[in-house]
Structure 1
Amino acid sequence: MKQNIATFSNWIIVLVGIPALMYLGRPFLVTFFIAIILAMVLSPVMDWLIKKGLGRGWAVLVCTLIVVLFFAILAGLLTYQISLVAKDLPRMEQKANDLLNQAQSFIQDKTGMAPEKQMDEVKQQVAKLGSLGMSFFGSFTNTVTNFFLMFVYLVLLLSHRHKIQKFLISCVEPSDKQQAYKLIFKARDTASMYIWGMLKDVTAMAIVYAIGFMIGGIKHGIFLAIIAAVFSFLPYIGNIIGGGTAAVLAMISGEPSAFLIVVGVMTVAQIIENYTLSPFLVGNAVGLNPFFSIVSIIVISMIWGIGGAIIALPLTGVIRVALLFSPHTKPMAEFMGDDDAS
């Protein structure tokens, strides 16, 4: 009885203490764990480069350049598309003003609030947001700083990954070393398969969106397709945010019917993704059941924000693999797992 109470108390301490530690260490941990996930994703690439005769230092450099190149291509593509959209900004601004006037008239009809009163309310809200300007600047500065720190952590993790692995193995009993090796590689494969699968899935969806938008005659279809697809990295809510943003921009840049066309194309594309692309490209790489998938995204995103939402699934998948090591935590890992997952 005492042992059961002690076990229950330990779980309570873990479930309360870990979120508290994650929150208190947020400025450091979110960037560090993103780097850990990226290091796991790039480890197979680094192993392949070393087998081909490349030195460890050069392999680390190539892996880091792969990440830099990915962000550079994405930033360049977005910048080019934004430059095309900028040429249409005056007309889009006029269209937005027309839609705003229609919305004000609708609100006045339904609530009796005059347009001037509506604008006063908006100005008050803008003033409140303006008071947060310095904190926003600080957040933006921190984001840029953390982005560069992520690369520093990534280089260090890739350079010392064998030392880290050796340290982890040395922490277990000699009889458990073989199992520890297997779980380390399983954790790496869990993160790697999920991220690479998501990259393929997002790329495929961007192509499907772009083709659908162009067939539907949507202006700036490629730009809107990129916006909608990139948000897909945010599980569950990403499609809603990206699709809503793309639909509103399409309506402002084109005709009101463009909104319905974008929603229709994305609905069809989501059906294709859910039943063909996602199972084939991503599958259940993290091995989590739907309940823990949703809970992990909600909890980690509440603590770590957007960065946490992006890595919530692979991080929780890695934690589940770690829980498989001990007989005391294995029941929890099995509870978190999907029965259909390998």
Structure 2
Amino acid sequence: MSRTLLSALILLGTLLLLFILTPGVLLVLFAGVLLAVAIRAVAVPLAARLGLGEGWGVMIVSLLAVLMAGFAFWFASDAISSQAESFRQQLPELVQRVQERLSQYSWGRWVIEQIDPRRLVPSGQTASTAATYAFSGLGGLLGGLGDVVLILLLGLYLASDPAPYRKAALALVAPPGRPRLLAVMDQGGQALRGWLLGQLFSMVVTGTFIGLGLWALGVQMAGLLALIAAVFGFIPYIGPLISVVPSLLVALGQDPSLVPWVIGLFVVSLTVEGNILTPMVQRQTAHLPPAYLLGAQALMGSGFGLIGVILAAPLAALTMAAVKVGYVEGWVEAEGPLRAPEGSPAAKAATAPEGRG
């Protein structure tokens, strides 16, 4: 066995072992990498246009993002918060209306019985169970906030200067395999960058379309429901199906005759996304067949919960790019020693003089 192959197997084995022992840590690290890729997708072209260093570009983009988020929060916080509070206050009444309408049908009564919360908590254990859930929820909230802070810091550090981390990764593989590993990292970065930009475009278009449609139908809290649809649009296929539930609940509680129109609106949105927006996204990254993507979401969701479902699509895009460049082109179809594709950034870097950072 060659030293190159042995070092590659050791690296893959170590990553697999870490994924088994500490999956949450690796998912947080991957989220940080994803954030860094998103920042550099805007910062690098901006820095080149302004004639500045990449670090300055990252700083400018980060500050602009904070200012835009603050402005959006200041501009829309009152409307969104009032709608969210209205939704919270109306939720018990909406649920009651839904239960009354479902109870008119035999299948509806069966559904109500299955989701009755009294079936989930045995008698005599309500207080202790509630306390346990409260402490568990508080711990989960604090842990989630800690993960968010860690992801933000990782994204900023990786985006500011990725060269040391790339060199550290290359040092783990024998010299003959480093050009191919560099090509894998370059291709993986391009796949993530294209997927992120395309998905962001899809989220904006979907949220705007849903918001205008709900507003035209006269559905209450159209802005909040559009925001929910846009946010869940980050999760392909599954996210849009989840986002339709709050809209249907509001429409059913407001006026049952609105329900078919709301369903039709989301069907049109899903059709446009599936036939126009998704192909546009996939042209910017590795093609992700629906069955492959849904399988990745099911696998990640069953193993890691919500964060696994959220990160399944970009992780699948990265995996396909890595397999294509690192395994198929670099091993299965390659003749002779491992090398980077001709004309790729990795090939140019491999032939560059020492000392270029």
- Name the TM-score, length of structure 2 as normaliser: 0.74
The offset of 1:301, in angstroms, is 2.5
1:29 maps onto 2:31 in alignment: no
Contact 1:37 1:315 in 2 (8 A): no
The percent identity for this pair of structures is 19
More off after superposition, 300-309 vs 188-197: 300-309
1: CA distance, partners of 2:91 / 2:255: 11
Contact 2:220 2:250 in 1 (8 A): no
Structure 2 equivalent of residue 154 of structure 1: 155
More off after superposition, 86-95 vs 129-138: 86-95
Structure 1 equivalent of residue 144 of structure 2: 143
Structure 2 equivalent of residue 265 of structure 1: 265
2: CA distance, partners of 1:169 / 1:216: 56
Contact 2:32 2:152 in 1 (8 A): yes
The offset of 1:136, in angstroms, is 1.2
Structure 1 equivalent of residue 232 of structure 2: 231
1:43 maps onto 2:35 in alignment: no
Q: 1:292 to 1:310 in 2, by over 3 A?
A: same
Structure 1 equivalent of residue 336 of structure 2: none
The offset of 1:205, in angstroms, is 0.5
Q: Secondary structure of the residue that 1:233 maps to in structure 2?
A: coil
Q: 1:300 to 1:69 in 2, by over 3 A?
A: farther
The offset of 1:199, in angstroms, is 0.6
Structure 1 equivalent of residue 184 of structure 2: 183
Q: 1:53 to 1:146 in 2, by over 3 A?
A: same
Amino acid at match of 2:318: V
Q: Secondary structure of the residue that 2:233 maps to in structure 1?
A: helix
Contact 1:23 1:303 in 2 (8 A): no
2: CA distance, partners of 1:241 / 1:30: 23
Contact 2:34 2:155 in 1 (8 A): no
- Residues 139-191 of structure 1: per-residue CA shift (max 9 Å, x gap): 11111111111111112212330112233444556555554444322211100
Contact 1:41 1:188 in 2 (8 A): no
Contact 1:194 1:282 in 2 (8 A): yes
After TM superposition, the structure 1 = structure 2 runs for residues 288-303 of structure 1, keeping only pairs within 5 Å, are 288-303=288-303
The offset of 1:213, in angstroms, is 1.3
Structure 2 equivalent of residue 197 of structure 1: 198
Contact 1:190 1:285 in 2 (8 A): yes
1:244 maps onto 2:242 in alignment: no
- Residues 72-99 of structure 1: per-residue CA shift (max 9 Å, x gap): 5676646632313535765664444344
Contact 1:190 1:317 in 2 (8 A): yes
1:61 maps onto 2:59 in alignment: yes
Gaps of 5+ in 1: 333-342
The offset of 1:122, in angstroms, is 6.5
2: CA distance, partners of 1:328 / 1:92: 55
After TM superposition, the structure 1 = structure 2 runs for residues 1-342 of structure 1, keeping only pairs within 5 Å, are 21-51=18-48, 52-65=50-63, 68=66, 77=76, 80-87=79-86, 93-103=92-102, 120-121=118-119, 124=122, 127=126, 128=129, 130-172=131-173, 178-252=179-253, 254-283=254-283, 285-323=285-323, 324-326=325-327, 330-331=331-332
The offset of 1:71, in angstroms, is 5.7
C-alpha RMSD of matched pairs (Å): 3.8
Q: 1:70 to 1:303 in 2, by over 3 A?
A: farther
- Name the TM-score, length of structure 1 as normaliser: 0.76
Q: Secondary structure of the residue that 2:27 maps to in structure 1?
A: helix
Q: 1:161 to 1:81 in 2, by over 3 A?
A: same
Gaps of 5+ in 2: 334-357
